[in-house]
């Protein structure tokens, strides 16, 4: 008996020391960021950055936001304060918050430094950020749907690519709406395939996902080099245009961001809402989560574990297929080899960051989309930073997020384990 | 009673895997029949996909003939097959070792790029050294840089629990950008070129060509011996050394490894670093044996194909050797197929993916070909 309490105590101490060490590391990182802002993101005194918030065509005009270069000294001081506080106190409870606030300050300082002496349209960047986050959010949502029933879904990347491909092909032949339906169905069929492989044939879930990704990449690349290169009309779909929502789209900054976008943006927000309601406020959602946490208990209570997993993984595939169609029907109208380029994996990271919750995944996706659009827009501003390093930013952000927060978010208990009915 | 039986069968399986001298019928089925069926079914599916994309039947026939001739039909075909197999086997060994230790490393592509680039830099900057030192040193530097790059993901997993699948994929994407940037730096970029391409590796750091006395077109290089040495070394490491035992135990039963006093975080970092060293060596061998210089994307997806090679070889060094030669043959034959029959080489990617599906889900192969597995199904009935 005393042995057990002893181990519990030592374990608790160990956990404490791990948390404290992590907090100190984060403090060190914040102090390093403060130094970075002072020495690297140094703005020539007297110069200021101009951020445009409205364009001349907008109904409501608001003046430009002019930030003096001295802002960066304030930013560095704030970062240093957060870092020192974190380092000395090691307050585990505030670690994530400090890191989040610190990164936000860093981004602001960076923008001021990059735009110093120039003008920059902030609203159009935010609009692009929302657009860039759509496939990541839908990929993350697909991850939530399948991991909540304990199926690890590495295949999101392949499902996105398959959706993009089907959208382009069918969209070119039969029009955008049928192309969209085809993308959803093709994504769903890959979800079904994943379910067959991992639920019925109990294949290793990660291997099954990787295989689906390789297979989809192979098929789509093969068809696009074998067929599309010869018959170009098969790969020339009409793009869904932006739908302006009256009145709401006239709100400065928020209007263009949220209410002057295309079908996929609205679709992503609506799907996240539906998924949240379904998973956390309905009977079937509760059953699905039970299957993810403790399949044996769910089975005992009469929930069919296999059917639940089949249904949810297939739905996850459909969501990812819809997200994939964004690449072709919502963006360029043309399929290119491997055009998803790792977005599915970033979606997975968004799911982890978002703690396996649809709204969390969407918020994380918005952050990734922001990083992505910053690097695109900054390439136009002629900063001294090479474009390759800007392009790395979202990937580095993903690693930091996965490393920094994974301990604080918990996957469904049975995640990744096949279930064998007794 | 049944537990006892399970333990016995596991023991038997392990012993036969290690000794590979006495195969029971089960091992024969798992190690020979399943892969054989997998390859055949994948080829049939490949033909169906060609049919579906309006390739006519004589062309399909010609493309399969080209696939066979281009992979094993002549001395030059064998030379191409083995040349393609060298980096696949090297990187595959690393990934297989990771799988044994319970790590799913998808980062071989990035580790291979970083290792290859390091080999290029070592190659052109240390050109004052004699070949006996220069060549091994170049390969070692490539391996060391690959190991370091992989260790990032290992350390992240060991200290924070970040899942290696996501971190290695992100490290791959980062390495592509890093390579593009480095190739434009004046100390790496070839003089007088505006496109991103590195200086050439001098002859003193090149792996010698083996068959150029027959025809200069034969690209087979001494990397094939490096590959065989690596297979032997990894076999020893996994099945005869203490470290390898720790790797395998951590992969199969982490809590047992913990109780036996093995340091989980150390094992993770070591296994990742060893895997990265092999991937880096694969990149260095590709640079010093075939390419001679680095350009964007010179890895050409070898790191991803190596995942398939490791799975197909069941994470066993000897299995990976054969799987790598098979995939090298598909690669070489695929090029021939593209030239002779005009069928895109991307078809090979589909065939490779299908092979892994059937390998990784033996139940699926058993469901498709019940007659191939009479004995084992009877045994299951009896049990």
Contacts of A22 in chain B (CB under 8 A): 160
Q: Would the pLDDT of A1 be above 50?
A: no
Q: Which tokens sit at A77? A: 């001081």
Give residue for tokens 């260790």: B151
Residue A68 belongs to what H/E stretch?
A: strand A65-68
Per-residue confidence at A276, pLDDT binned at 50, 70, 90? very high
Q: Which tokens sit at A268? A: 């992503």
Q: Give the pLDDT confidence score for residue B145 in this predicted structure.
A: 96
Q: Do A201 and B354 touch (CB under 8 A)?
A: no
Residues B96 and B317: their CA atoms lie apart, in Å, by 8
Q: Give the pLDDT confidence score for residue A409 in this predicted structure.
A: 60
Contacts of B180 in chain A (CB under 8 A): 388
Q: Give the pLDDT confidence score for residue B53 in this predicted structure.
A: 80
Q: C-alpha angle B366/A205/A137, rounded to 5°?
A: 140
Contacts of B173 in chain A (CB under 8 A): 342, 392, 395
A403: nearest CB among B53, B160, B344: B160
* Smallest CA–CA distance from A392 into chain B, residue: B174
Residues 337-376 of B with CB under 8 A from A: 343-344, 346-354, 356-357, 360-361, 363-364, 367
Report residue B212: phi and psi, to 5°: -70, -10
- Note whether A53 contacts B: Cβ–Cβ < 8 A: no
Q: Give the pLDDT confidence score for residue B24 in this predicted structure.
A: 47
Residues B96 and B90: their CA atoms lie apart, in Å, by 10
Q: Do A389 and B354 touch (CB under 8 A)?
A: no
**What is the CA B310 to chain-centroid distance, rounded?**
6
Contacts of B296 in chain A (CB under 8 A): none
A406: nearest CB among B160, B174, B367: B160
Q: Which tokens sit at B217? A: 């077109």
Q: Return the higher-pLDDT residue of B378 and A357.
A: A357
Contacts of A395 in chain B (CB under 8 A): 170-171, 173-174, 177
Q: Do B181 and A389 touch (CB under 8 A)?
A: yes
Q: What are the residues whose beta carbons fall under 8 Å from the beta carbon of A16, sequence distance 6 or more?
A: none
Residues A302 and B169: their CA atoms lie apart, in Å, by 39
Contacts of A222-225 with C-beta under 8 Å, sequence gap 24+, read A222/B49, A222/B53, A222/B344, A222/B346, A222/B347, A222/B349, A222/B350, A223/A165, A223/B53, A224/A165, A224/A335, A224/A336, A224/A337, A225/A337, A225/B344, A225/B346
- The DSSP secondary-structure symbol of A248 reads G
- Tell me what the mean pLDDT of segment A121-137 comes to: 87
- Note whether B3 contacts A: Cβ–Cβ < 8 A: no
Question: If we measure between CA atoms, which residue out of A122, A190, A134 comes closest to residue A158?
Answer: A190
User: The domain B85-342: what is its CATH number?
Assistant: 1.10.3470
Q: Is A388 helix (H, G, I), strand (E, B) or coil?
A: helix
- Tell me what the mean pLDDT of segment A244-251 comes to: 77
- What does the pLDDT look like over A189-243, one tens digit per residue? 999 999 998 888 888 787 788 888 888 988 898 888 888 887 888 887 788 877 7
Cβ atoms of B169 and B241 closer than 8 Å: no
Q: Is B259 helix (H, G, I), strand (E, B) or coil?
A: helix
Contacts of B102 in chain A (CB under 8 A): none
Q: Do A398 and B352 touch (CB under 8 A)?
A: no
Q: Which tokens sit at A15? A: 């956990």
User: Which residue out of B335, B346, B355, B359 would a mutagenesis test of the A interface target, given it has the greatest number of A Cβ atoms within 10 Å?
Assistant: B346
Sheet-wide strand order for A119-121: A65-68, A48-52, A119-121
ipTM surpasses cut 0.90: no
Residues B72 and B91: their CA atoms lie apart, in Å, by 23
Residues 354-373 of A with CB under 8 A from B: none
User: The domain A123-408: what is its CATH number?
Assistant: 1.10.3470
Q: Do A406 and B162 touch (CB under 8 A)?
A: yes
Contacts of A399 in chain B (CB under 8 A): 156, 162, 166-167, 170-171
Please give the C-alpha separations between residue A256 and each of A53, A124, A246, A359, in angstroms, as whole numbers. Answer: 10, 8, 11, 21
Contacts of A349 in chain B (CB under 8 A): 166, 170
Q: What are the residues whose beta carbons fall under 8 Å from the beta carbon of A363, sequence distance 6 or more?
A: A354
- Note whether B264 contacts A: Cβ–Cβ < 8 A: no
- Note whether A50 contacts B: Cβ–Cβ < 8 A: no
Q: How far is B319 from chain A (nearest CA, A)?
A: 18
Residues A169 and A324: their CA atoms lie apart, in Å, by 13
- What does the pLDDT look like over B317-376, one tens digit per residue? 998 999 899 899 988 998 888 888 888 888 888 888 888 777 777 667 777 777 766 544
Contacts of A214 in chain B (CB under 8 A): 304, 308, 349, 352-353, 356
- Tell me what the mean pLDDT of segment A350-372 comes to: 86
Q: Give the pLDDT confidence score for residue B377 in this predicted structure.
A: 41
- What does the pLDDT look like over A98-118, one tens digit per residue? 777 887 888 888 888 887 777
Q: Give the pLDDT confidence score for residue A158 in this predicted structure.
A: 93
% of chain A beyond a pLDDT of 90? 21
Least confidently predicted of A81-95, A154-168, B351-365 = A81-95
Q: Do B357 and A215 touch (CB under 8 A)?
A: yes
Q: Would the pLDDT of A17 be above 60?
A: yes
% of chain A beyond a pLDDT of 70? 91
User: Which residue out of B43, B56, B174 would a mutagenesis test of the A interface target, given it has the greatest number of A Cβ atoms within 10 Å?
Assistant: B174
Q: Do A392 and B177 touch (CB under 8 A)?
A: yes
Q: How far is B59 from chain A (nearest CA, A)?
A: 13
Q: How many pairs of residues across A and B have Cβ atoms under 8 Å apart?
A: 129
What residues pair up with A50 in beta bridges, in sequence order?
Answer: A66, A119
Query: For chain B, what are the domain ranges?
Result: 25-55+343-383, 85-342
- Look up the pTM and report it: 0.81
Cβ atoms of B149 and B123 closer than 8 Å: no
Q: Do B344 and A222 touch (CB under 8 A)?
A: yes
The count of C-alpha atoms lying within 13 angstroms of the C-alpha of A52, restricted to the half-sphere facing its C-beta, is 11
Q: How far is A70 from chain B (nearest CA, A)?
A: 32
Q: Do B174 and A398 touch (CB under 8 A)?
A: no
Q: Give the pLDDT confidence score for residue B383 in this predicted structure.
A: 33
- Tell me what the mean pLDDT of segment A329-353 comes to: 84
pLDDT under 70: residue ranges of chain B: 1-31, 362-363, 372-383
* Smallest CA–CA distance from A22 into chain B, residue: B160
* Smallest CA–CA distance from B310 into chain A, residue: A207
Q: Return the higher-pLDDT residue of A63 and A324.
A: A324
Per-residue confidence at A164, pLDDT binned at 50, 70, 90? very high
- Note whether B54 contacts A: Cβ–Cβ < 8 A: yes
A202: nearest CB among B174, B178, B363: B363
Per-residue confidence at A166, pLDDT binned at 50, 70, 90? very high
Q: Would the pLDDT of A141 be above 90?
A: yes
Q: Give the pLDDT confidence score for residue B381 in this predicted structure.
A: 40
- Give all strands (DSSP E) within B223-373, no chain letters: none
Burial class (CB in 10 A: 0-12, 13-18, 19+), A11: exposed
Question: If we measure between CA atoms, which residue out of A272, A317, A268 comes closest to residue A149?
Answer: A317
User: Which residue out of A402, A404, A411, A420 would a mutagenesis test of the B interface target, given it has the greatest number of B Cβ atoms within 10 Å?
Assistant: A402
Q: Which tokens sit at A173? A: 């032949």
Q: What is the CA radius of gyration of chain A?
A: 24
* B295: number of Cβ within 10 Å: 14
A398: nearest CB among B166, B348, B351: B166
Least confidently predicted of A19-28, A372-381, B153-162, B223-232 = A19-28
Contacts of A403 in chain B (CB under 8 A): 156, 159-160, 162, 167
* Smallest CA–CA distance from B159 into chain A, residue: A403
């Amino acid at each position: 008996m005393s042995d057990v309490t002893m181990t519990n105590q030592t374990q608790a101490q160990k956990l404490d020391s791990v948390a404290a060490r992590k907090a100190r590391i984060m403090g060190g990182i914040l102090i390093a960021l403060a130094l970075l802002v002072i020495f690297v993101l140094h703005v020539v005194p007297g110069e200021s950055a101009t951020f445009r918030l409205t364009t001349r065509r907008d109904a409501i005009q608001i003046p430009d936001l002019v930030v003096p270069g001295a802002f960066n000294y304030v930013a560095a001081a704030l970062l240093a304060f957060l870092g020192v506080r974190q380092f000395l106190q090691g307050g585990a409870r505030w670690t994530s918050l400090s890191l989040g606030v610190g990164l936000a300050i860093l981004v602001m300082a960076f923008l001021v430094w990059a735009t110093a002496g120039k003008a920059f349209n902030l609203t159009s960047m935010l609009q692009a950020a929302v657009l860039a986050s759509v496939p990541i959010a839908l990929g993350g949502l697909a991850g939530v749907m399948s991991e909540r029933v304990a199926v690890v879904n590495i295949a999101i990347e392949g499902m996105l690519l398959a959706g993009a491909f089907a959208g382009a092909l069918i969209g070119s032949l039969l029009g955008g709406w049928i192309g969209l339906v085809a993308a959803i169905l093709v994504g769903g069929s890959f979800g079904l395939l994943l379910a067959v492989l991992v639920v019925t044939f109990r294949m290793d879930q990660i291997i099954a996902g990787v295989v689906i990704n390789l297979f989809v990449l192979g098929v789509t690349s093969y068809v696009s080099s074998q067929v599309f290169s010869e018959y170009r009309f098969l790969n020339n779909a009409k793009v869904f245009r932006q739908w302006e929502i009256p009145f709401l789209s006239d709100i400065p900054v928020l209007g263009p961001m949220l209410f002057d976008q295309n079908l996929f943006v609205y679709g992503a927000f609506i799907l996240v809402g539906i998924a949240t309601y379904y998973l956390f406020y309905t009977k079937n959602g509760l059953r699905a989560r039970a299957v993810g946490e403790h399949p044996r208990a769910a089975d005992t209570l009469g929930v069919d574990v296999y059917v639940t997993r089949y249904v949810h993984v297939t739905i996850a595939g459909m969501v990812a297929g819809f997200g994939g169609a964004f690449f072709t029907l919502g963006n360029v109208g043309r399929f290119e080899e491997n055009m998803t380029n790792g977005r599915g994996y970033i979606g997975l990271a968004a799911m982890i960051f978002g703690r396996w919750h649809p709204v969390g995944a969407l918020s994380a996706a918005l952050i990734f989309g922001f990083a992505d659009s910053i690097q695109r827009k900054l390439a136009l501003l002629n900063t001294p930073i090479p474009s390759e390093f800007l392009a790395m930013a979202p990937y580095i952000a993903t690693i930091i997020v996965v490393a920094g927060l994974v301990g604080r978010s918990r996957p469904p208990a049975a995640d990744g384990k096949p279930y064998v009915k007794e | 009673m049944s537990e006892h039986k399970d333990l016995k069968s596991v023991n038997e399986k392990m012993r036969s895997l290690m000794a590979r001298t006495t195969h029971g019928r089960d091992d024969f089925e798992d190690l020979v029949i399943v892969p054989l069926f997998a390859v055949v079914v994948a080829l049939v599916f490949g033909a169906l996909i060609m049919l579906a994309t309006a390739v006519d039947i004589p062309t399909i026939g010609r493309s399969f003939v080209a696939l066979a001739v281009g992979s094993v039909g002549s001395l030059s075909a064998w030379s191409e097959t083995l040349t393609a197999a060298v980096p696949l086997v090297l990187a595959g060994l690393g990934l297989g070792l990771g799988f044994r230790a319970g790590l799913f490393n998808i980062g071989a592509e990035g580790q291979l790029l970083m290792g290859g680039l390091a080999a290029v830099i070592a190659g052109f900057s240390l050109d004052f050294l004699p070949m006996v030192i220069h060549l091994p040193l170049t390969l070692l530097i490539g391996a060391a840089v690959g190991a370091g790059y992989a260790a990032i993901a290992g350390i992240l997993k060991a200290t924070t629990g970040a899942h290696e699948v996501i971190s290695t994929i992100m490290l791959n994407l980062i390495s592509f950008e890093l390579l593009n940037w480095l190739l434009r730096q004046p100390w790496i970029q070839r003089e007088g070129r505006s496109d991103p391409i590195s200086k050439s590796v001098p002859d003193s750091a090149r792996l010698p060509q083996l068959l150029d006395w027959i025809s200069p077109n034969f690209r087979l290089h001494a990397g094939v011996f490096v590959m065989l040495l690596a297979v032997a070394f990894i076999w020893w490491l996994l099945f005869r050394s203490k470290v390898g035992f720790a790797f395998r135990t951590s992969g199969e039963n982490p809590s047992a490894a913990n109780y036996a006093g093995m340091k989980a975080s150390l094992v993770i970092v070591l296994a990742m670093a060893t895997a990265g060293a092999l991937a880096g060596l694969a990149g260095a061998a590709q640079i010093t044996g075939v390419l001679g210089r680095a350009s964007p994307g010179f890895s050409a997806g070898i790191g991803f194909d190596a995942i398939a090679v490791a799975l197909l070889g069941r994470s066993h060094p000897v299995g990976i050797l054969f799987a790598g030669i098979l995939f090298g043959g598909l690669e070489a034959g695929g090029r021939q197929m593209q030239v002779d029959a005009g069928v895109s080489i991307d078809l090979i990617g589909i065939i490779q993916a299908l092979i892994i599906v059937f390998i990784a889900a033996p139940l699926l192969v058993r469901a498709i070909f019940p007659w191939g597995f009479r004995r084992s199904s009877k045994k299951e009935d009896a049990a």
